[in-house]
């Protein structure tokens, strides 16, 4: 997925419209997986820590996604990536 660099803020930005849900993500910096120390984190991955981005429109306190929900999100994000390459 293409990122854009914001010179004023001195950081890389990826903007996407996402449906409400729970999204896991990590960064690759210099070939190493890492996460933002200032973001909320959880450790469901026995091999590392994933940062969590939450967008909620309901009061649902259960952020766990099913396998099908994760697949749907992946398909949406991959479609966005294909649109950017065109």
Determine the pLDDT at residue 65.
67
What integer is the mean pLDDT of 37-61? 55
Q: Report the chain's mean pLDDT, rounded to a whole number.
A: 70
What is the per-residue DSSP string for 26-80? -EEETTEEE--TTS-EEEEETTEEEEEEEE-SS-----PPPHHHHHHHHHHHHHH
Percent of the chain with pLDDT strictly greater than 90: 3
Residue 8 belongs to domain spanning: 4-85
> Quick one: average pLDDT of 50-77?
63
Confidence of residue 57 (pLDDT cuts 50, 70, 90): very low
CATH code, domain carrying 31: 2.60.40
61 or 69: which carries more pLDDT confidence?
69
Provide the domain count of the chain. 1
């Amino acid at each position: 997925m293409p990122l854009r660099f914001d010179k004023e803020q001195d950081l890389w930005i990826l903007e996407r419209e996402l449906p409400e849900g729970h999204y896991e993500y990590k960064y690759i910096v210099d070939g190493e997986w890492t996460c933002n120390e200032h973001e909320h984190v959880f450790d469901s991955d026995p091999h590392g820590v994933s940062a969590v981005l939450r967008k909620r429109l309901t009061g649902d306190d259960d952020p766990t996604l099913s396998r099908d929900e994760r697949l749907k999100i992946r398909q949406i994000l991959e479609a966005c990536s294909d649109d950017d390459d065109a």
